[in-house]
Amino acid sequence: MIHSVLDLFILSLLDRGLETAYDLNRQGGLSLGSTVPALRRLESAGLIKRKAPVGSSKRPRHWFQLSVTGKKLARSGWKVHLKASSHPDFDAVLRVVDMAQHYLAKPIDIVAFLEAAASERRSQARPRASGPSDTYNSFGLVTTRESWDVVRLRAEAKFLIGWGESLGKPLPKTRNPD
C-alpha cells in the first residue's frame, strides 16, 4: 500500500522526536487541519500509538509514538515517492526531499527527483493559446488565475533546479567575526 506524502512526513517527524499535533504544527510546519485527521488515520492503521493526555487543562495534549511498523514505514515509505513520475503538489515535493535528506538518500537521486518536478512545472507553465471558445473568459478572474499559475509554476521550477544544483556543491564557509 502506498501512503500519502503527508502521512509519511508525519511519521518521519514523529521518528525525529516530535510528539504532539502542536509539535507537528509549530516545528514541522503542518496545519492542524490536516495533521489531526492524518494522526487519526495513522492511529487506526496501527502505525502510531496515542499516549494518555498530559496535563489537566480543558484541552489536553495527546502524545504520539510510532509503532514498529510505523517506524519502518517512516524510514522507507518515502522512497516510492522519490521515484514517482508525477509531482503535482509543491509541498509534497518539499516533504519528499526533506525525508530523503534526513534518511540519507543518494544526492543524485534527490537531484533527479527535483529535476523531474521542475521539468513537470515548466511543461505545465506554458500559457494556453486563446481561441474563439475562450471569448467568455478572455479577461477577469480566469485570465488572472491562469497568468498567476504560469508565473508560480515557473518560479517553482526555478527554485527546484537551484535547490538541486546546490546539493552537489559544498556549503559556503562562514566567517568568524572577530
| pLDDT greater than 70 at residue 173 | no
Please give the Cα distance from 79 to 101 (Å, whole number).
11
- Which cell numbers hold the place of 12? 518521519
91 within 8 A of 52, measured Cβ to Cβ: no
| pLDDT greater than 50 at residue 40 | yes
CA of 102: how far to CAs of 8, 20, 151, in Å?
Answer: 13, 20, 30
Q: What global pTM score does this model have? A: 0.85
- The reported pLDDT for the residue numbered 13 is 98
Given the candidates 2.40.30.10, 3.40.50.970, 1.10.10.10, 3.30.1490.20, the CATH classification of the domain at 5-76 is: 1.10.10.10
Domain spans of the chain, in order of start: 5-76, 79-130+137-167
Residues 6 or more apart whose Cβ sits within 8 Å of residue 16: 102
